[in-house]
Chain A
Amino acid sequence: MADSYYDPADLRKFGNITEWSEELGTKFFDYYGKVFEEGALSAREKSLIALAVAHVVKCPYCIDAYTKDGLQKGITKEEMMEAVHAGAAIESGATLVHGVQMMNKYNKLSM
């Protein structure tokens, strides 16, 4: 066992999850592969969305994977950073919009 929770080498072993549940693992990876194919959105656009989400869910494996994927697709660092900001803005917005709930409760409880 590794002495830390995240080991970069574990990303290469992601596919191994199928070994302990072949049907679900296979279905997941088929679905995953399909999602990132060219569609109404380009593979490039989906890669940037994935990168933004990777940051929001704070998944180090996903950040490594989609930084590399972005490079492979010719995405520039400026585009990548803007995508991260888009994710961060939604995440902080999601926190701040709860401020309305706080204000509502405050007003309700106050005379």
Chain B
Amino acid sequence: MATKSLKARHNALVTDNKQLEILESGIFENGELPYFKDKIAQIGQFPLRPKKLEILQINVGYMCNQVCEHCHVDAGPDRKEIMTRETMEQCLEVIRNTGAHTLDLTGGAPEMNPNFRWFVEEAARAGVQDFIVRSNLTIIRANKKYYDLPEFFKKYNIHVISSMPHYTRGKTDKQRGEGVFDKSIKALQELNAVGYGMPDSSLRLDLVYNPSGAFLPGDQSALERDFKKALMEDFEIQFHNLFAITNLPIARFLDYLMASGNYEDYMYSLVEAYNPSAVENVMCTNTISVSWDGWLYDCDFNQMLGLKVASKIKHIKDYNEEVLTDRNIIVSQHCFGCTAGAGSSCQGSVT
């Protein structure tokens, strides 16, 4: 189990941004597998264009209490990139005026940003319809100062979306670190205790499942059924929906694929599972991703690849929704991850 980010290990994948080079060469360059742009061109979707903006996703920092093996953000305790209050002010200005109905805070562990609570309070005042915080669960049990997070989330009617790789201890700890399973279970029970995830409760609690290895997620509804049954029987835990998310070949997951000799097979799996009907609803068509330092991206994955939006407007301080919507979305071969099978997005499958 890694304890440091790739960045802290000076891994060339992230320090020299070798990732795009890898995704553009090899089995794609030699014609074994098609380029993503050629695949979507066959259905008249290249260049891929945004539709109406629905989700503003803000990454408030790469710092995290965990060092998950599959993390595409390469987050960890050693990452110091944290959104400043000044950038948050710029985000708030946008949140107050956007046409998007969903605000989605992510990280890292967003709660570790020292201005997190202030930001949530201010953003909640803007009256967002669906206000999501992506919480890794263990943060709630990581330190006393986080123990009241369930109550805090409840106070602002936050929609909590949490990662839970499996309903068994072994698989969860292998992906996310020793002890993560027990802490996550405890955190889920605490969220349930204040009303989160209960049937008919307006306090939304959804779980994110992503595979712990070089394979694709199975059918989302079947997995949801299995998770619900197991978590209820073993721990009396309830939640609303399970989102099955495909791991994209970026940062630590790409590093894992290459080191384990699974990269080519995994890319084959993604391309073989390509589903043209998923292209219609890929999340980059209705989302804008904002990085900790205020730059704008088509999605969180492009953010990690350093691919800023192809628009005159590239920073939150210059934000203009109309100009931004009139752009071409930047694609590469990692995009096959969002169009495989039932499709994948931060909101789960897309078909």
A residues whose Cβ falls under 8 Å from a Cβ of B: 12, 38, 42-44, 68, 71-74, 76
Contact = CB atoms under 8 A, between A and B. Distances in A.
Contacts of A71: 211, 213, 215
Given A12-B268, A12-B272, A72 B222 contact: no
Chain B residues touching A, range: 10 to 19
Nearest to A15: B272
A49 to B, nearest CB: 16
B216 A72 contact: yes
A12 B223 CA distance: 26
B215 A44 contact: no
Closest 3 CB pairs of A and B: A72-B218, A73-B218, A71-B215
A44 to B, nearest CB: 7
Interface of B: 166, 168, 170-171, 209, 211, 213, 215-219, 222-223, 226-227, 268, 272
Contacts, number: 31
B215 A43 contact: no
Contact of A43 (B168, B171, B222): B222
21 contacts: A12-B272, A38-B222, A43-B218, A43-B222, A44-B222, A44-B226, A71-B211, A71-B213, A71-B215, A72-B215, A72-B217, A72-B218, A73-B219, A73-B222, A73-B223, A74-B218, A74-B223, A74-B227, A76-B168, A76-B170, A76-B171
Chain A interface, DSSP helix/strand/loop, else mixed: helix
Contacts of B215: 68, 71-72
Contact of B166 (A42, A68, A74): A74
Contacts of B170: 76
A71 to B, nearest CB: 5
Contacts of B219: 43, 73
A27 to B, nearest CB: 21
Contacts of A76: 168, 170-171
Contacts of A43: 218-219, 222
Nearest to B272: A12
A76 B216 CA distance: 15
A87 B203 CA distance: 46
Contacts of B171: 76
Contacts of A73: 218-219, 222-223
Given A12-B268, A12-B272, A43-B219, A72 B211 contact: yes
B99 to A, nearest CB: 37
Contacts of A74: 166, 209, 218, 223, 226-227
Nearest to A42: B222
Contacts of B268: 12
Interface centre among A12, A68, A72, A73 (most CB of B within 10 A): A72
A71 B168 CA distance: 13
Contacts of A68: 215
Contacts of A38: 222
A41 B170 CA distance: 27
Contacts of B211: 71-72
Nearest to A73: B218
A43 B170 CA distance: 23
A74 B166 CA distance: 8
Contacts of A42: 222
B161 to A, nearest CB: 19
A39 to B, nearest CB: 13
A22 B247 CA distance: 35
B223 to A, nearest CB: 6
Contacts of B216: 72
Contacts of A72: 211, 215-218
Nearest to B226: A74
